[in-house]
Amino acid sequence: MIPITCIIVDDEPLAVKLLESFVQKTPQLHLEASFTDSVEALGWLKEHPVNLAFMDIQMPDMNGMELSHMLPEGTKVIFTTAFKEYAFESYEVSAIDFLLKPIRYNKFIAAVEKAEQWFTLEEGRGKKEEARDTMFLRVDGELRQIKMNDILYVEGMKDYVRFHLEGERLPLTTHMTMKAVEDALPTDDFMRINRSYIVRLDKIRTVDRNLCVYIGDEVIRVTEAFREAFERYCN
């Protein structure tokens, strides 16, 4: 899944130039176009869909949140803004990441790695289901292939997730969102049981009367938002 095609949308020319310089020194990215006008960007995207949009939120005519709802299917977003209060809303629209200005390159490249991981997993989802017995995780700068059947549970930790594997003493940590993990894993085998945990259903040993799940060496509580779906599975 390399290169990742991308555009930049920001009404501040200096912000555009900074992001262009970041893209130029990031091998896995290929810049298709830059825009200071969000309406112009939308018109261009309808004819030239890309994988990824680096997009400011506060812009005239059409802000980044509005534009994100109108993007072609398959175009993901990394928001760039000077206003941290938009962070929660950005995750509500399933953005890959949220970069707070002034943006440093180390934060930029971490967001790109999240995007790369998402597209790698999405590419795997497009293959025949019977062939999907493994997946790739970017760990310490390298892609590591793991068996789906070895996954006990996945633990979300803000900007990272931890894959806890059967037979492995330490979890594998990678830049991803829980939403990306949830989308990538087969729904017949895995279920999200609270905001921070996805479990492999056939690895559950016990579920107690308080809906606490015993899996591996961990005890995980099923929270209210996920209770109904989990109880349907158990029954």
**187-220: pLDDT as tens digits:** 889 999 999 999 999 999 999 999 999 999 999 9
Out of 94-98, 119-123, 137-141, 191-195, the most confident range is 191-195
- Within 10 angstroms of residue 150's Cβ, the number of other Cβ atoms is 15
What's the DSSP call for residue 48? Answer: S
For residue 24 the two structure tokens come to 């130029």
- Give the span between the Cα atoms of 75 and 187, in whole angstroms: 23
∠ Cα 173 178 184 (to 5°): 95
pTM of the model: 0.59
